[in-house]
Amino acid sequence: MVLTLFYKPPVSTDVVADSIRHLHSVINKTYKFQHAVLSPYKELEKGDEGVRVVVTTIVSTSADCPDVRTVSKGREVAEAEQKFGFEAVFERKNIYDSHRAPGLAVFDMDSTLIQQEVIDELAAAVGVKDKVSAITKRAMEGEIDFTESLKLRVALLEGVPTTVWDELKESTIKFTPGARDLTKCLKQLGWKMAVLSGGFTPLASWVAHELKLDYYHANKLCISEDGAHLTGKLEPDSDIIHAERKQALLLRIAAGDCIPLERVVAVGDGANDLPMLGTAGLGIAFDAKPKVQMEAPARLNTRNLLDVMYLLGYDKKAIDGLLLEP
């Protein structure tokens, strides 16, 4: 298995070495790895203040090694993270190695590629933000069905002027730190990219254009006959982009581009992202709700999407080189 460790704040090389040895020890002791070998760690990002990101590998000849997800969710790992101030991301080595070939990156939109929950911002325009936010929170935590929650929230948006989309783009919507840089790097490397959103097409299409994504899928809202307002309904014949639909779209896009699932990376933050996160070779819960972090294959809480590049095996020098390209 491959371990990528993110330290906050940057730390000395001595602390890095101690923390990796400790983590290796507790993993071996807890899961009884046979003949487990810890490789020398590689610094992926180091500055004047110390080391921030490293990668190392644990190789075992044991036939009954636990799944990386089992190890990563263990209490022993959580205690080591707290003790040494790092966050560990575990990957199967074959998956990690596959990232060097161009693949498919699939993203959620709200609170992933962008910092806002768009439906909350729409609700603010008609004074029902608190009601919509409460429903959104319950849906993202998996307390109520996403389709039901979407219809409830959309119904509260009746009367919102369609000019709101341009207003949101100009003054409200902010891309998540690292979103533009990550998608630029992946584009330079030949990856295909998609946004699969439980939000709405006017914003998803704009995000896809801004980030040069290849595909976008989102929910379609009905507008009044004069085109001036939202009606509070979804287009009747359109697909609702719920959890299972996101998963199906990921599978369809990957198959259409002849990309094996081992080379698919999915990033999201909500309960409706879990099926696609579990289907991808690498599924990342990004700054996600606690329930999602516990159930997703991997989690990343650095609040910068560019850090995904480290999970693909690139160091800071390589990343900076990609960003310098036109």
Beta-carbon contacts of 143 under 8 Å, excluding residues fewer than 6 positions away, are none
CATH of the domain at 44: 3.30.70.260
Domain assignment present for residue 47? The answer is yes
Domain assignment present for residue 267? The answer is no
Domain assignment present for residue 66? The answer is yes
Beta-carbon contacts of 121 under 8 Å, excluding residues fewer than 6 positions away, are 129, 168, 172, 173
Angle between helix axes 146-155 and 129-140 (nearest 10 degrees) is 170
Tokens of residue 292, six digits: 């999602």
What is the per-residue pLDDT for 326? 85
What is the per-residue pLDDT for 35? 64
pLDDT tens-place values along the chain, 326 residues long: 899 999 988 999 999 999 999 998 888 888 776 667 889 999 999 998 899 999 999 886 665 667 788 889 889 999 999 999 999 999 999 999 999 999 999 999 999 999 999 998 888 888 998 999 899 888 777 788 888 999 999 999 999 999 999 999 999 999 999 999 999 999 999 999 999 999 999 999 999 999 999 999 999 999 999 999 999 999 999 999 999 999 999 999 999 999 999 999 999 999 999 999 999 999 999 999 888 999 999 999 999 999 999 999 999 999 999 999 88
What is the per-residue pLDDT for 65? 65
Domain assignment present for residue 80? The answer is yes
Answer whether 224's CB lies under 8 Å from 139's CB: no
Domain assignment present for residue 240? The answer is no
**What is the number of alpha carbons within 13 Å of residue 141 lying toward its C-beta?**
8
Domain assignment present for residue 57? The answer is yes
Amino acid at position 62, single letter: S
Strands 50-59 and 104-107: unpaired
Tokens of residue 253, six digits: 């896009």
Tokens of residue 220, six digits: 């379609």
**Which helix (H) or strand (E) covers residue 232, if one does?**
strand 230-234
Give the count of domains, the chain. Answer: 1
Residues serving a catalytic function are 108, 110
Phi-psi region at 154: left, alpha or beta (left = phi > 0; alpha = psi -120 to 50): alpha
What is the per-residue pLDDT for 233? 96
What are the backbone dihedrals phi and psi of residue 94, each rounded to the nearest 5 degrees, phi first? -65, -35
What is the per-residue pLDDT for 319? 98
> What DSSP string describes 14-53?
HHHHHHHHHHHHHHHHHH--SS-EEPPPEEEEEETTEEEE
Domain assignment present for residue 324? The answer is no
Domain assignment present for residue 45? The answer is yes
Which residue range forms the structural domain that includes residue 21?
1-91
